[in-house]
């Protein structure tokens, strides 16, 4: 089983990119890390881990930080039509 810290492919770049975007937004707004963490309901250490792109931080914490910064995270898979079932063929294995 893959540990949360062991992401592969595009996923390994997503968390650091997201963390950097959140940090850039926070600094652009002139909000300190302490104030942002308090507004998001997370510890300062958790905010630091988010801004560093740590994949072991819960998605809820990422969402709370984004919301505290006036951002809305969009997860495209949630917008996908539910009527289209995922098909996996034997050849895919």
> In this structure, what token pair is assigned to residue 11?
């996923």
The pLDDT of residue 71 is: 95
| Alpha-carbon gap, residue 14 to 41, rounded angstroms | 23
Q: Is pLDDT at 66 greater than 50 in this prediction?
A: yes
Please work out, in degrees rounded to the nearest 5, the angle formed at the alpha carbon of residue 20 by the alpha carbons of 78 and 16. Answer: 65
The one-character DSSP state at 30 is T
Looking at the chain, the whole-number percentage of residues with pLDDT higher than 90 is 58
Is the pTM of the predicted complex or chain greater than 0.95? no
Domains in the chain, please, with CATH?
Answer: 11-79 (1.10.260.40)
């Amino acid at each position: 089983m893959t540990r949360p810290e062991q992401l592969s492919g595009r996923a390994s770049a997503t968390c650091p990119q997201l963390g950097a975007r959140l940090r850039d937004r926070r600094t652009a707004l002139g909000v300190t890390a302490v104030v942002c963490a308090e507004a998001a309901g997370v510890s300062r250490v958790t905010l630091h881990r988010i801004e560093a792109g740590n994949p072991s931080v819960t998605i809820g914490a990422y969402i709370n930080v984004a919301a505290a910064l006036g951002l809305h995270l969009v997860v495209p898979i949630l917008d996908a039509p539910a009527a289209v079932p995922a098909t996996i063929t034997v050849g895919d294995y």
